[in-house]
Chains A and B, each alone.
Chain A
Amino acid sequence: MVNFMVSLSNPMEIETTIETKNLNLYYGDFRALNDVNIKIPGRNVTAIIGPSGCGKSTLLRCFNRMNDLTENAKVQGKIIIEGNNILELETDLIFLRKKVGMVFQRPNVFDLSIYNNLKFGLRIHRMLSDKDHIMQAIQSGLEQVNLWQELKDKLRKNARSLTLEQQQRLCIARVIILKPDIILLDEPCSALDPIATLRIEELLRILRQQYTLVIVTHNMQQAARVSDYTGFMYLGQLIEFGETNQIFTNPGEKLTENYISGYFG
């Protein structure tokens, strides 16, 4: 029995990491991930880069078992998060996805008020207590994504009336409010303009002090700007993983160099 809840009971005391061991993922007969072995350090931003179809989003979705929702997806190997193999059958997926939150390409706010968007996760995870505590949690979440001052008087407004950047910040707040250890971000800025992108990147640099962030991006400059570690994937394989400064100045693999230099992809 995986003792997942116990191991994550005090995240501030635990150096959060994700480790995969010989991770393979098949969509039917297609091998989307090929023996991926990666160790993602805690309280840092790790970027996963690579050309389209290389498996970077597939890898990201493995970390909170989102691939379980994909028909024909079959996973082999191990994904160890804080000592537990999350691929074990006994893993509590609701709890896993609370602790390993996810932000998607397009802001996926619900057609509800800002307040109810944030309350939604608390309700699903039965973290509701009294009204004051809910309000405190919502305020804290919005403060962490620098939205509180803008939205504190508009909490009953429909979340879809916000700008795309505000919506994406709100989505991040919705994850944060559940007190995750790890936040997965799948191309979180691809729908945003350059200025909004830079502001989200700044937010990620702040959030890394409290959370382990894993970001998938096809924007190499973004990976270079925002991450501490970078993994380069190609055809389902992790070609190289290392400190971002090293990957972008002196990569160890020619394939990495050619990709980040724009010679293919």
Chain B
Amino acid sequence: MTREIFKKHIQTLEKEVTEMGEMVVTAINRSIEALKVLDSEAAEKIIADDVKINKKRWDIEEKCINLIATQQPVASDLREIIAVLSIATDLERMGDHAEGIGKIVILHGKEPLIKPLVDIPQMADICVDMLKRSIDAFLKRDAAAATAICAEDDKVDLLHEQVYRVLLSYMIENPRVITYATYLIWAAHNLERIADRVTNICERIVFLTTGSMHEINVSRY
């Protein structure tokens, strides 16, 4: 068997993507927990930790570039490196969305939530589940699982619409809550984008596995 060193580099990349995925899952979970109780201290931590996610993305990109430059990968090796580059970018943006929720917590301040959060945590749960499963599908090269995950995006979209409708009715009823209702709409929007980013990852898994590059689930947003 040749190219053992190259294979080890690829395994390192997969490990790094898994770690980055875990960092993003933690960031999303923490951001929602912080939003539920308006914990600005926790929010500050999420914002600070996003730097680590960003750095992880650059580290992965650098490794990918070095592998392309020095190993001249082709076929599925090349597709894997391209997929990893793309996945790292999407994970980094998901980290930014979690950071965005953290910033909303800080903007919201100590003013009580205008309503208990129901749909937003549910959106977050689905996003986290989609993300974990997508990383698993990446490691297993499972195109069928990746395609199935994309269908979950519709659930997040529906919840997003629901959050928007409900908060709109709150704003119509009481214009004084517009600022805080808008914060929550932004938070929901961040989660909706996270789910879209997971579908991007799934598309890359299908590309990696089959060589076919196409959109699986067209977002309504």
Contacts and interface: CB of A to CB of B under 8 A. Distances in A.
B3 A220 contact: no
B141 interface: no
Contacts of B76: 250, 257, 261
B3 A262 contact: yes
Interface residues of A, number: 15
A257 B1 CA distance: 14
A251 B211 CA distance: 9
A261 B3 CA distance: 9
Nearest to A224: B74
Given A249-B211, A250-B79, A250-B211, A220 B74 contact: yes
A263 interface: yes
Interface in B203-218: 210-211
Contact of B75 (A221, A260, A264, A265): A260
Nearest to B6: A262
B73 A261 contact: yes
Contacts of B1: 263
A249 B3 contact: no
A249 B79 contact: yes
A251 B73 CA distance: 13
A224 to B, nearest CB: 7
Interface string B74-96: 11111100000000000000000
Given A221-B72, A261-B73, A249 B78 contact: yes
A262 B2 contact: yes
B213 to A, nearest CB: 10
Contacts of A251: 75
A29 B2 CA distance: 32
Interface in A239-265: 248-251, 256-257, 260-265
**Nearest 10 pairs of A and B residues by beta carbon:** A250-B211, A257-B75, A248-B74, A260-B74, A262-B3, A261-B77, A261-B75, A251-B75, A221-B72, A263-B2
22 contacts: A220-B74, A221-B72, A248-B74, A248-B75, A249-B75, A249-B78, A249-B79, A250-B79, A250-B210, A250-B211, A251-B75, A256-B75, A257-B76, A260-B74, A260-B75, A261-B74, A261-B75, A262-B3, A262-B6, A263-B1, A264-B2, A265-B2
Interface of B: 1-3, 6, 72-79, 210-211
